[in-house]
Amino acid sequence: MKSFTPIVLGAVLLAGVTVRAQNQAPEIAFESVANPLTLPDDIYLGEVGGVAANSKGDVFVYTRTGHPTISIGGSRAFAHGGSRLFQFDRSGKFTREIGKDSYGMMFAQQVRIDPQDNVWIVDQMTGYVMKLDSGGRVLMLLGRKPESVPVPAPAPGAGGRGGRGGGLPGAGAQSDVFNRPTDVAWDSAGNIFVADGMGNARIAKFDSKGVFIKSWGSRGTDPGMFGTVTALAVDAQGNVYAADGGNKRIQVFDNNGTFKTQFANVGTPSALCMTPGPNQFLYSSNSNPPEDFDSGGEIYKLKLDGTVVGRLGKAGKRPKEFGTVNSIDCRSENSLLVGEVSNMRVQKLTLR
Amino acid sequence: MTRRFACVALVLVLFGASASAQQKATAQNVQEISYTSVPNLLKIPAGETLGEAVGVATNSSGHIFVYHRSATTRLWEFDRNGAFVREIGKGYYGFEFAHSVRVDPQDNIWTVDEGTNTVTKFSPEGKFLMVLGRRPPAVEGAVATATGPNPPAQKYIFCRPTDVGWDPQGNIFVSDGYCNNRVVKFDKDGRFLAQAGSEKAGSEPGQFNLPHGLQVDGQGNVWVADRTNNRYQVLDNNLKPLKTYTNLGVGWTVCVSSGPHQYVFASNSNPNGNAPGTWANTGEIYKLELDGTILGKFGHASKEFGGFQVVHMMDCRNPNEVIVGEIESWRVQKLVLR
């Protein structure tokens, strides 16, 4: 028994490195603002895929609510419904619904606001990345919804979602058709980056007019490869930060997709947000999966070199706890909006 | 007489799967409790239709909540006289196939939906407060109906849950359900504390075969309608088995009245499908003391008003006015016991 001790100790020390790096991050004190959003009596949030604020403080919530439905008839099954986009004013009062009964809204994944206050939504099931103007009109569509869905669904790993262009799982498909995309971001020149995502494992780059330029990455564990790409952020220099949830790391690329570095000290990154301004920070959520509320769940604040500045929160259902954070808005560095999947809510956090 | 027995025997053979669900109660010499059913109880708004009335509950003001399966699953609130007040949760993501609605001591409204595997807490005003469990994500596509053994039960994920209750401390108890076979205890904030049973069906004490209804009494003991085992089980507050009652027929649903002297109501509901002979054997509701003493029984299977068509749930806030929701007659009745 004695002879094993050094080996066991060594293993514990080695295994402990990343854990300690996470746990030694200082706690950031914060409050959760009570009732940040006021909903009409006949509207209910479902799982919150995305939350984002525009320059006026309007809040947009893209949520999985209503009833995802498959229609029976003909030789194919058609799927529709299941997600809605809501707008609130800066006081949290409900303003309106955008895109009611849209063809592109089935499984809300993310909403982001670009510097011109356009509203971009990413839908994981229809595969659309939709650019809407501030009035809610469609300006640009990336991707295309599969016309029909196979019933029953193919086994995991058996291929794409039944539409064209899904390609082999994890293939670095050189096209603008996505397979369970997860996020969208822009550089200062207006180039568009799409995380694609859960079905594919790549990042696609488009110019500001939606012309496909290139994509990089495929399924794997090497630098530049992804388990899944769950979130994206771009800094002021145009570097691309990709949450590689499947490999428990954030990878950093230059503007053309050349791997630069990775951060593996923040658990399973599932949502990212880059603060604006000259001194940028990156928020990353180690989101708990919906089946586990007893570990993880915290949000990290990082410098752009990967140094962890602090952490906040943990998994749970009370205020100041998180249930599968899928979205972070950090337009203001110390006032975050957080969208939760398994708690079906938005929290507004004030950091001390 | 002999012929009838042969007939019943044949039916039992033919309907082997449902035979256990049409069990005649073995309790003997039980007194009949007379009752009347209040005519025209619920005033349904013009143009609306009540569906399978699987969930019914009242709040402290006597308002009646009905969680039912119409074209979509919906939750309606009526006042104590049955006038329609409002709809709650219209279009809510956690409503797909109703199973139970209960109102807690603070008048919060809880729904249990076996189509989305969620248990949801709404405020007395109908605002969303908390959800337990998770709807299977649509993005994973239409999954083929499961066959074979149930997958392992997970702490925070339900598999067709059936009912919810609370102890005096506010801990939450969920019966789960059709494809798990367990009872789960959470704290008031939804954090997992304990479970009895597992994904596997079993017939030992503390095991379940379709736990279909659940309520908690004032001592914090948990009453479980263990349907396919044809029994009711009582568990202590930490989910250790205390007692089993096997003399009340099928264990379909259970209700515990409020107040200092609590009564238990247990329904030997006639089975779905109404196999021949079942109406003669089943359909009655038993009234018990908390120690299991049977005080009486009432009701019978019938499609006519005043009779029952598969009582799915009972409200017994007032033990002299039991409100029942029926699956197969799309009906809610208020029964005034004498």
Query: Which 8-state DSSP code applies to residue B38?
Result: P
Q: What is the mean pLDDT of chain A?
A: 90
Q: Provide the edge-to-edge strand list for the sheet that holds B181-186.
A: B161-166, B172-176, B181-186, B192-198
Q: Give the pLDDT confidence score for residue A157 in this predicted structure.
A: 55
Q: Which CATH architecture has domain A7-143+178-351?
A: 6 Propeller (2.120)
How much of chain B is helix, strand and coil, in % rounded to 5?
10, 40, 50
Q: Which of A31-45, A69-83, B67-81, B235-249 has the lowest mean pLDDT?
A: A69-83
Is the per-residue pLDDT at B6 higher than 60?
A: no
Tell me the pLDDT of chain B averaged across its residues: 93
Which has the closest alpha carbon to B128: B75, B55, B72?
Answer: B75
Q: Which tokens is B172 given?
A: 């939450």
Residue A199 · residue A163 · CB < 8 Å: no
Query: SS3 for B244?
Result: strand
Q: Is the pLDDT of residue B192 over 60?
A: yes
> How far does the CA of residue B132 sit from the closest CA of chain A (Å)?
8
Confidence of residue A153 (pLDDT cuts 50, 70, 90): confident
Q: If we measure between CA atoms, which residue out of B141, B134, B130, B205 comes closest to residue B170?
A: B130
**Mean pLDDT, range A223-249, rounded to an integer:** 97
Q: State the pLDDT confidence band at B238, using cuts at 50, 70 and 90.
A: very high
Backbone angles phi, psi at A331, to 5 degrees: -55, -35
The mean pLDDT of B60-66, rounded to a whole number, is: 98
Name the pairing type of β-strands B109-113 and B98-103: antiparallel
Residue A14 pLDDT level (bands cut at 50, 70, 90): very low
Nearest to B300 by CA among B263, B255, B330, B333: B333
Is a pLDDT exceeding 60 seen at residue A159?
no
Confidence grade of residue A174 (pLDDT, cut at 50, 70, 90): low
Say yes or no to pLDDT of A23 above 70. no
At A152 the pLDDT is 85
Quote the ipTM score: 0.88
- Are B93 and A47 an interchain contact pair (Cβ–Cβ within 8 Å)? yes
Do the Cβ atoms of B138 and A107 come within 8 Å?
A: yes
| pLDDT band at residue A173 using 50, 70 and 90 as cut-offs | low
Other Cβ atoms less than 10 A from the Cβ of A107: the count is 22
pLDDT, position B275? 85
- Provide the β-strand partners of residue A340: A325, A345
- For residue B86, list chain A residues with Cβ-Cβ distance below 8 A: 41
> Closest Cα of chain B to A85: distance in Å?
14
Helix, strand, coil in percent for chain A, rounding step 5: 5, 40, 50
What is the reported pLDDT for B13? 38
Rounded to two decimals, what is the model's pTM? 0.90
Residue A154 banded pLDDT, cuts 50, 70, 90: confident
Please report the pLDDT score of residue A78 as a whole number: 92
Report pLDDT for B276. Answer: 86
Distance CA(A246)–CA(A182), nearest Å, equals 13
Interface test with B, best of A32, A39, A44 (most B CBs within 10 A): A44
Contact B104, B119 (CB under 8 A): no
Query: What is the 8-class DSSP label of residue B319?
Result: T
String of DSSP letters for B285-298: EEEEETT--EEEEE
Average pLDDT of span A180-208: 96
pLDDT digits (tens, 9 = 90+) for B67-94: 999 999 999 999 999 999 999 999 999 9
Q: How far is residue A121's CA from residue A130's CA, in Å, rounded to a whole number?
A: 5
Extended strands (E) in A217-258: 231-234, 240-244, 249-253
- A314-340: pLDDT as tens digits: 999 999 999 999 999 999 999 999 999
Please state, in angstroms and rounded to a whole number, the distance separating the CA atoms of residues A252 and A235: 10
- How many angstroms separate the CA of residue B147 from the nearest CA in chain A? 14
